[in-house]
């Protein structure tokens, strides 16, 4: 189970999440209580151990700005969290290592994900960043050809049930493991990751195999 801890704002939380077993860290460049500057993110990313996927989160930014920040900070992926067009997403994908495209559950864009050239798709509730759980039945279980990251209101108490119901490739959490906006809680981070891993260990038929598209090879870079 791929686990991404998003909304990282400081080095202490970043290293904590990695020590607890997080596969990826997210840095928000869009307006948010967890927004960081490229300089802040770069100072954190340069201290991360190898094998950790660093992801920049953007919302309706100019494609060139997305690309510039990804390279300036040294990120492994850009997560597009707004109403980016398939054309802009595909262009960005051609200029950065990987793109994760976020959609609200039920969005028609989910059925056109290949046009976005996204290596993975993130699905969340109707109010992104609200920390609210959405109706998981909106995910119909269709295989759209790319790994699915589940987000939206996840925490240590519900992540196992979410994984068993939706069977995603990975999970993404921010507010659900915080003590305050932008500050991660060590116990919540540990319990979230442990519960996610236990849930997938009990699943005899994981959604994606190790030779799938993304990001099983990021550790080799």
Containing 89, the helix (H) or strand (E) segment is: helix 86-93
Instruction: Give the pairing of strands 183-184 and 178-180.
Output: antiparallel
Domain boundaries, the chain: 2-204
Exposed (0-12), middle (13-18) or buried (19+): which is 185, by Cβ within 10 Å? middle
Q: Which CATH class is domain 2-204?
A: alpha beta
**Which of the residues in the chain have pLDDT under 50?**
204-221
State the pLDDT at residue 74.
98
State the pLDDT at residue 105.
84
Q: Contact at 8 Å (CB) between 207 and 168?
A: yes
State the pLDDT at residue 177.
97
State the pLDDT at residue 165.
86
How far are the Cα atoms of 22, 62, 84, 87, 96 from residue 91, in angstroms, in the given order?
29, 11, 11, 6, 9
State the pLDDT at residue 125.
74
State the pLDDT at residue 128.
57
Spatial CB neighbours of 126, under 8 Å, sequence gap ≥ 6:
104, 105, 134
Provide the whole-model pTM. 0.87
Spatial CB neighbours of 129, under 8 Å, sequence gap ≥ 6:
32, 174, 175
State the pLDDT at residue 149.
94
State the pLDDT at residue 166.
87
State the pLDDT at residue 32.
93
């Amino acid at each position: 189970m791929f686990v991404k801890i998003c909304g990282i704002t400081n080095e202490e939380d970043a290293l904590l999440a990695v020590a607890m077993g997080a596969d990826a860290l997210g840095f928000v460049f869009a307006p948010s209580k967890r927004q960081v500057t490229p300089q802040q993110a770069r100072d954190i990313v340069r201290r991360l151990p190898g094998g950790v996927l660093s992801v920049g989160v953007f919302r309706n930014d100019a494609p060139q700005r997305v690309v510039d920040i990804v390279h300036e900070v040294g990120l492994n992926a850009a997560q597009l969290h707004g109403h980016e067009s398939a054309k802009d997403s595909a262009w960005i994908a051609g200029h950065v290592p990987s793109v994760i495209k976020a959609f609200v559950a039920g969005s028609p864009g989910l059925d056109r994900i290949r046009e976005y050239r996204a290596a993975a798709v993130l699905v969340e509730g109707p109010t992104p960043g609200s920390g609210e759980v959405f109706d998981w039945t909106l995910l119909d279980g269709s295989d759209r050809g790319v790994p699915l990251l589940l987000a939206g209101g996840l925490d240590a108490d519900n992540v196992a049930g979410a994984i068993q119901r939706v069977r995603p490739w990975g999970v993404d959490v921010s507010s659900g493991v915080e003590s305050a906006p932008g500050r991660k809680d060590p116990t919540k981070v540990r319990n979230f990751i442990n519960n996610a891993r236990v849930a997938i260990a009990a699943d005899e038929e994981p959604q994606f195999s190790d030779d799938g598209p993304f990001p099983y090879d990021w550790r080799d870079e």
